[in-house]
Amino acid sequence: MKAANEAKQLILKDNKTARLDALKLDLASLKSVKAFANNFIALKLPLNILINNAGIMFCPYQLSEDGIEMQFATNHLGHFYLTNLLLDIMKETARSTGIEGRIINLTSVAHLHTYDEGIQFDKMNEETSYLDKKAYGQSKLANILHANEVSRRLQAEGANITVNSVHPGLITTNLYRHSSLFIKILKFLTYILWKNIHQGAATTCYVALHPALKGVSGKYFLDCNEYESGTFARDEILAKRLWDFSNKLVDAAQNIRKVLFPCETSLIS
């Protein structure tokens, strides 16, 4: 929150008429996601653009507070749940304003480097099969599959909302804190490919805002251009299976919390 408020003040310094709110959200916690959604809904604000940006990378094996492998929980499941909770507001905003809503999932070219089956549905939380880099690739694959499935569902409804995936590129941020030596070697060998913060944000901003992408949905973007994602990422059956699997994880986590902490049911119902 300290960093968020510092960013808020920096924006206000350059844009004195901007109206900004910073709300706390921990994507690794489904309870936090629900609380955030409740707080946002209470503000009664429109919602035109949702950028699912949070991520962790190459961390040692650990489970989230909901008992889910941490990279999958943070990079995919938190965003999956958040998007579902905010979709009704986005639909209503698009209907009432006539302005197209846009959802952007930040993914990575690392989605190509995942487990052999793409998503380890049956071994998601097993420590013995955990490989930090493939687990990261799995979570980034899930980001694209999620975006594509939401896109298909919204198009079937006729909702005026597009959903796309973005690979921002190699950017020097604290995302690499769990693999500093590996990244130093990689950066030395591939220094010409690395981007600064503004360059790294460019594709996200392009997909979120550019009028040329009106009506474009279910696509994968890199360097402000549409690219073909990996074979797993284009698998509609895998996307539907991930959707059902993710819903079951969310439901299971909520049911466990209702049993353990019955006084909190109003927060997660």
For this structure, is 130 an active site residue? yes
Tokens 């594509």, located at residue? 148
Residue tagged active-site, from 61, 115, 130, 136: 130
Surface-to-core class of residue 61, CB atoms within 10 Å of its CB (0-12 exposed, 13-18 middle, 19+ buried) = middle
Cβ neighbors of 214 (< 8 A, separation 6 or more) are 100, 162
Surface-to-core class of residue 214, CB atoms within 10 Å of its CB (0-12 exposed, 13-18 middle, 19+ buried) = exposed
Cβ neighbors of 245 (< 8 A, separation 6 or more) are 119, 121
The answer to whether 26 and 39 are in contact (CB under 8 A) is no
User: C-alpha dihedral over 143, 148, 154, 155, to 10 degrees?
Assistant: 160
Cα separation of 267 and 36, whole Å? 10
Give the CA angle between residues 182, 185, 188 to the nearest 5°: 145
For residue 11 the two structure tokens come to 């924006």
Residue positions annotated with a catalytic role: 130
